[in-house]
Structure 1
Amino acid sequence: MNKQWISVIVAACFEVCWVIGLKHATSVWEWLGTAIAIFVSFYLLIKAGEHLPVGTVYAVFVGLGTAGTVCADSLLFGEPWKLAKIVCIVVLLAGVVGLKLVTGESKDQEVTE
C-alpha cells in the first residue's frame, strides 16, 4: 500500500468525524472541529486523486466513510446492530476492496507508448 492509499484511508476517517460533527455539534468549538475535519478530509482526497484513478479513490473514500459512519453510530451512540446492516457493510467493503484490487496502481506509473 502506498502513501496515496494511506491518505485515502485517513481522509475517510476524517469523513466519519465530520459526518458525526454535522449531526451532533452544538458548540462553536465542535463546529470548528467539524469544519477542520471537512477541510482535511477533502484535501487528502484531492491530493490522492492527483496520483491515483479518481473514480476508484472516490469509491474507496465513500465506501470506507459510509462503513465507518455506520459503525461509529452503533459504537458511540447506541444505534442497534442488525444482521441486514452488517451484511450490507460487508458487501460494501468487499466491493471497495475488489475495486481497488482490479484498478491500476497509479496514473504516474502508466506506461506511455
Structure 2
Amino acid sequence: MNWILLVIAGIFEVSFAACLGKAKEATGLEAIYWYLGFLICLTVSMLLLVKVTQELPIGTAYAVWTGIGAVGSVIVGILIFKEPATFWRLFFISTLIASIVGLKIVSH
C-alpha cells in the first residue's frame, strides 16, 4: 500500500509542476486558480510522502518520489508545453525510469 501511495504522491508532484507551468502562461484570475492548484497538489504530495516515509526507507522513498516527479514533469513538458523530445532527453529519462524500478526491486 505504501508503494501505491508513493506513486500517487509522485503524480501530485507532477501535477504541481504542471500547475506552475500553466500559471506562468495564464493571467489574472486564471493564474490564481493555477497557483491554487499548485498549493493543493504540493500539500497532498508532501503529506503522502510524509506518510510513506514512516514505513519505507527515507532515501528510497525520496528518490522514487523525485524520480516520478522528474520523469512525469518531462513527459508533461513534452506533451503539454511542447518541449523538445530529443533522443538524448528520452534516453536519460529512460535511465532514470530504470533506476526507479531498480530501487523498488532492491528495497524491502
Q: Please, which moves more after superposition, 25-34 or 56-65?
A: 25-34
In structure 2, the partner of 1:107 is: none
Instruction: Look at both structures and tell me which one has the larger radius of gyration over its CA atoms.
Output: 1
Q: Distance in 2 between matches of 1:69 and 1:32?
A: 18
Give the alignment's TM-score, normalised by structure 2: 0.90
Give the alignment's TM-score, normalised by structure 1: 0.86
Task: Tell me if 1:35 matches 2:33.
Answer: no
Aligned pairs for 1:82-93 within 5 A = 82-93=86-97
Per-residue Cα deviation, 1:17-64 (whole angstroms, up to 9, x for no partner): 111222331422211111000000000111010111111000000111
Q: Distance in 2 between matches of 1:30 and 1:8?
A: 23
**Counterpart amino acid of 1:4?**
N
Q: Distance in 2 between matches of 1:103 and 1:17?
A: 26
Q: Distance in 1 between matches of 2:86 and 2:33?
A: 34
In structure 1, the partner of 2:4 is: 6
Q: How many residues align?
A: 102
Identity level (%): 38
In structure 2, the partner of 1:44 is: 48
Q: Distance in 2 between matches of 1:89 and 1:64?
A: 10
Which of 83, 90, 96 is the equivalent residue of 2:100? 96
Structure 1 vs Structure 2 CA RMSD: 1.0
Deviation at 1:100, TM superposition (A): 1.3
Q: State the SS of the aligned residue for 1:81.
A: coil
**Where do 5+ consecutive residues of structure 1 fail to align?**
105-113
Q: Distance in 2 between matches of 1:81 and 1:93?
A: 16
